[in-house]
Amino acid sequence: MSTRRSVEVEVRELHKRYGAVVAIESLNLRIGPGELVSLLGPSGCGKTTTLRAIAGLVQPDAGEVMVGRRVLNDVPVHRRGFGLVAQNYSLFPHMNVIENVTFGLRMRRLPRAEIARRAREALAMVQLTQIEDRYPSQLSGGQQQRVALARCLVVEPDVLLLDEPLGALDKKLREAMQVELRSLQRQIGITTIFVTHDQVEALTLSDRIAVMHQGRLQQVGTPQEIYESPRNRFVADFIGVCNFLDCRVAGRDQSTVLLRLDDHALLPAAIPPPASVPPEGTRVVVAVRPEKLIIEAQTAAPERALHARLENLVYVGTAVHYHLRTKTGARLVGYRQNNAALPPHLYPGAEVQISWEPDAARLLE
Partner 1 sequence: MTAWMRRNGAALLLRLYCGAVLLFLSLPIIVAVGVAFGADRIARFPPAGFSLRWFAAALTEQTFVGALYTSLQLAALTTLGSLLLGLPAAVALGRRAFPGRAGLETLLLSPLTMPGVLFGISMLFFLGASGLGLTWWGLLAAHVVIATPYLLRTTLAVYRGLDPGLEEAALVLGASPLQAFRHVTLPLLRPGLAAGGLFAFLTSFDNVPVSIFLTTAHNNTLPVTIMSYLVNQDFDATVGAISAIQVAIVLVLLYLLDRIYGVARLTSPGG
Q: Is 83 in the site for partner 1 (CB under 8 A)?
A: yes
State which of positions 135-174 bind partner 1 (CB under 8 A). 137, 151-152, 155, 161
Rounded to the nearest whole angstrom, what is the least distance from the CB of residue 194 to partner 1 in the complex? 16
Tell which one of 61, 103, 277, 333 touches partner 1 (CB under 8 A): 103
Least separation in angstroms between CB 148 and partner 1: 8
Return the residue of 93, 111, 274, 279 that touches partner 1, per CB under 8 A: 93
- Per CB under 8 A, 336 contacts partner 1: no
**Is-contact 282 330, C-beta < 8 A?**
no
Shortest distance (Å) from residue 356 CB to partner 1 = 47
β-pairing, 159-163 with 191-196? parallel
Contact between 186 and partner 1 by CB under 8 A: the answer reads no
108 binds partner 1 (CB under 8 A): yes
Distance of alpha carbon 242 from alpha carbon 233, whole angstroms: 9
Q: Which of 7, 31, 55, 67 binds partner 1 (CB under 8 A)?
A: 55
Asked whether 51 and 163 are in contact (CB, 8 A), the reply is yes
Going 177 to 179 to 181 to 183, the CA torsion angle's sign is: negative
Please tell me what DSSP assigns to residue 358: G
Question: For residue 24, what are the β-bridge partners?
Answer: 16
Helix, strand and coil content of the chain, in percent to the nearest 5, comes to 25, 35, 40
- 239 — phi, psi (to 5°)? -95, 110
- Would you mind telling me the total number of residues written for the chain in this entry? 365
Half-sphere exposure of 14 (CA within 13 A, CB side): 30
Smallest distance, Å, CB 122 to partner 1?
12
Cβ nearer to partner 1, comparing 103 with 244: 103
Q: What are φ and ψ of residue 343, in 5° steps?
A: -60, 135
| Binder of partner 1 out of 82, 194, 238, 356 (CB under 8 A) | 82
Residue closer to partner 1 by CB (options 52, 197) is 52
For position 84 contacting partner 1 by CB under 8 A, the verdict is: yes
List of residues contacting partner 1 (CB under 8 A)? 55-57, 76-84, 86, 88, 90, 92-94, 103-104, 107-108, 137, 151-152, 155, 161
